[in-house]
Chain A
Amino acid sequence: MSLSGTFAAGLLLGVVSFTLVGVLTAVLVLAERKVGARMQARVGPMHTGPHGSLQTIADMVKLVMKEDVRPARADAVAFGLGPLLVAVPAILSLAVIPFGAPLVMRDLNVGVLYFLAVPGVTVVGLLLAGWASYDNYSFLGGLRSSAQFISYEIPRGLAVVTVVMLAGSLSTVDLLEAQSRVPYIVLLPVSFVIYAVTSLAEVNRVPFDIPEAESELVAGYHTEYSGFRWALFFLAEYAGLFAASAFGALLFLGGGNGPVLPPVVWLLIKTGGLVFVGIWIRFTLPRFRADQLMRLAWKFFLPLSLANLVLAAAVMRAIA
């Protein structure tokens, strides 16, 4: 391919991915509002479009047209970089999810490690955003979220290691083949539970939304943001939720494996199921306190994931 052709293709891919993530966010936000409303015996948005289905599109248009406000004493460079460094890794983490034969953007031979590493860059964005806002609520939110992310990253990684040990590969495509008969949730149930709970913490969702706890921190690290920059945080949250669910489906539920329907549909069904559980939890459980959150990570999940790792290795050794 010629040089200009390569760059045109790259640019097109970028625009298409960003648009897809935008559409994804719109769908997920609507799903969250509708499901949440039903759980609280309400009906949710009803007026824009049939059954309110266009409500989030209208919200997005409004968001993009809003004024971009920056606090007078904010650090301009860090204030601008913050939301970008939060949104870009969240979108990039979608690149290694094998949606089915033609739709694997990149089959890295270290795909699983990539998925654990790239969202980690988000922490830099959160810290910068919180600090640059020149506001105590934002600052505390940024510190809390990075502390939380770093704490929960360890048990999460250890849970994923058991899957990698069993599959013997870090490639996402190989993971699918390894699970063609038995999905790993059957073989590694504890790992799945650890992954699911810590993933909720990684994407800052209830009951782990301490960083943006509205009752104590207004809106945490994005208190001072508005308009498109704020929309980027929103985009990142839902892209992160989707990516974590898709990866959960891939690691433990056999991803696109399934009868009759094409792999893409199976993966989306399984991912949708995990997203639904995430929404369900949000409208069911109250929020933790910051110290409870840390205690849960270091005194419960870390030992549990280590014991799980050793046990899994011992069993694998015994069988092999």
Chain B
Amino acid sequence: MSAQELLFAGFGVVAIAGALYSVVTRSLLRAIIGLGAFLTAVAGEFYLLAADLLAVVQVFVYVGGVVVLMLFALMLTASGARHPLAAIDRPRSGAVLACVIGGGLVWASWTVDFAEAPPAPDDAVGALGRALLGAQLGPFEVMGVILLASVVTALSIVRRERP
């Protein structure tokens, strides 16, 4: 086993542990911490798979963006973060659903034949950039408009409560 494989396995363990912790813990804040650990470990996996850009974007958008946003939202609630969450209503159906989805994913990754990955192109980042600002410009811009619309909607909902 090479150092790289060992690191890959290590990141995998951290990712799974973080994901489990974030659903098992009763504290909303710790759930977000677990999610952050999971996302960071996945960024590490991307890096080991020679997807540098994806790894950095993962940290940029998810850890530095989404996790911060969640923490911010949690802390702006009066005392949501200090009280443990109540037990969920239907633990049995939830567990069954989770097992079905998880089992399906394990089965899929077991049966699919992962051929030797093709070597990454030299200018992968450039190619991605050209694609986003060339052929895929339309969908790319639509994404931006959707995000803007969601921000405006959120603001208008918040404002309505306090005229």
Contacts and interface: CB of A to CB of B under 8 A. Distances in A.
Interface of A: 1, 3, 6-7, 75, 77-78, 81, 108-110, 113-114, 116-118, 120-121, 123-124, 127-128, 131, 139, 142-143, 146, 150, 170
A116 B1 CA distance: 34
Given A3-B2, A77-B33, A131-B29, A124 B75 contact: no
B36 A124 contact: yes
Nearest to B69: A150
B64 interface: yes
A110 B30 contact: no
Nearest to A115: B56
Main secondary structure of the interface of A (DSSP, over half): helix
Contacts of A75: 29
B33 A128 contact: yes
Contacts of B53: 109-110, 113
Given A110-B52, A113-B53, A127 B60 contact: no
Contacts of B64: 117, 120-121, 123-124
Contact of B59 (A3, A78, A117, A142): A117
Interface string B74-96: 01000001000000000000000
26 contacts: A3-B1, A3-B2, A3-B6, A6-B3, A7-B3, A77-B30, A78-B29, A81-B33, A108-B52, A109-B52, A110-B52, A113-B53, A116-B60, A120-B60, A120-B63, A120-B68, A124-B64, A124-B67, A124-B68, A128-B29, A128-B33, A139-B75, A142-B75, A143-B72, A143-B75, A146-B72
Nearest to B123: A109
Nearest to B36: A124
Given A75-B29, A131-B81, A110 B3 contact: no
Contacts of B65: 120
A136 to B, nearest CB: 12
A233 B148 CA distance: 35
Give the 6 A-B residue pairs with the shortest CB-CB distance, closest first: A120-B64, A117-B60, A6-B3, A127-B71, A117-B59, A113-B56
Given A3-B2, A116-B60, A170-B125, A127 B68 contact: yes
B57 interface: yes
Contacts of B71: 124, 127-128, 131, 146
Nearest to B129: A170
Given A117-B64, A124-B36, A124-B63, A131 B56 contact: no
Contacts, number: 73
Interface of B: 1-3, 6, 29-30, 33, 36, 40, 52-53, 56-57, 59-60, 63-65, 67-68, 71-72, 75, 81, 125
A236 to B, nearest CB: 15
B139 to A, nearest CB: 21
Contacts of B75: 127, 131, 139, 142-143
A49 B37 CA distance: 44
Contacts of A114: 56
B59 A121 contact: yes
B56 A110 contact: yes
A169 to B, nearest CB: 9
A170 B57 CA distance: 13
Nearest to B76: A143
Contacts of B56: 108, 110, 113-114, 117
Contacts of B59: 117-118, 120-121
B8 to A, nearest CB: 13
A64 B151 CA distance: 45
Q: Which of B2, B6, B71, B81 has the most CB of A within 10 A?
A: B71
Contacts of A110: 52-53, 56, 125
B106 to A, nearest CB: 28
A184 B52 CA distance: 26
A124 B74 CA distance: 13
Contacts of A146: 68, 71-72
